[in-house]
Amino acid sequence: MDAKHLLTLLEQVQGGQMSTDTALAELKKLPFENLGFARIDNHRCIRTGVPEVIYCAGKTIEQTQGIVKNMIQYHSNILATRATPEMAQGIKDVIDDSDYHESAKIVVIKPRPVEKKGNIAVVTAGTSDIPVAEEAAITAEILGNQVTRIYDAGVAGMHRILNVRDDLYKANVAVVVAGMEGALTSVVGGLVSCPVIGVPTSIGYGASFSGVAALLCMLNSCASGVSVVNIDNGFGAGFQAGLINGLAVKKEQEEKRPIDDSGYVTGAA
């Protein structure tokens, strides 16, 4: 149940179209609905504006299908992450209105157009890092953010990242996805004035320790304004970048509002 459905429910009670008992039964589904194997956080969309995200790894297809059947009653643009092709087909068996982004391993359930605002740069060191980057990019886009993709611009050829620095300068936040030693995050952090989110990936040879080397390199970055998410956590980076971009867009909109004679911004709450 999102804020729109809650408002509709209250309006129906007020207008006499729904009994208080029926409304109470619906409200009991807040803050969650217990399916036995999962408690659906129906209150999350009201709190954050974003429905609960379905993490598919470790769930059976039947469990995911049960969650999807419940959530599609109330929400659109539902994200199901870390979905295998088999899981994506299982979701499609429940609702054909879904898109599978195989590289990102994300299913968007009941996809609907959203206005994309601001600018998030998603940068990868190598082509092998693109799946994690796509998880970040698609997450950010579904949450209403404009995304600029800059792929295969790692430190092994510094001219590549320098060639796109104008694109980096336009971003409100940069998500830098890198495996191996993860040095690209520090390089981008040294070029831009916006926040940088480092995403270490498990790409690399033995001494990279499946992403631990990149993680430690990013955590020890001497570039100011760098934060780091966990290994291969493209979703977390995309979500965090969306929050930062949203604040930047809000500030830009407030700065554009006219100021009246009293010195107050007009239209402000």
- What's the one-letter identity of residue 72? I
pLDDT value of residue 256? 79
Given its phi and psi angles, is residue 246 left (phi above 0), alpha (psi -120 to 50 degrees) or beta? alpha
pLDDT value of residue 75? 86
Q: How far is CA 186 from CA 150, 165, 224, in A?
A: 16, 14, 9
Question: Is 100 within 8 Å of 83 (Cβ atoms)?
Answer: yes
Type and span of the H or E element at 139 = helix 130-142
pLDDT along the chain (269 residues), means of 10: 65 81 66 80 77 93 95 90 97 95 96 94 96 97 96 92 93 96 94 96 93 96 94 96 93 77 57
Q: What pTM was estimated for this model as a whole? A: 0.82
- What's the one-letter identity of residue 259? I
**Can you tell me which residue has the tokens 């969309």?**
45
83 Cβ partners below 8 Å, 6+ apart?
A: 56, 91, 100, 105, 106, 107
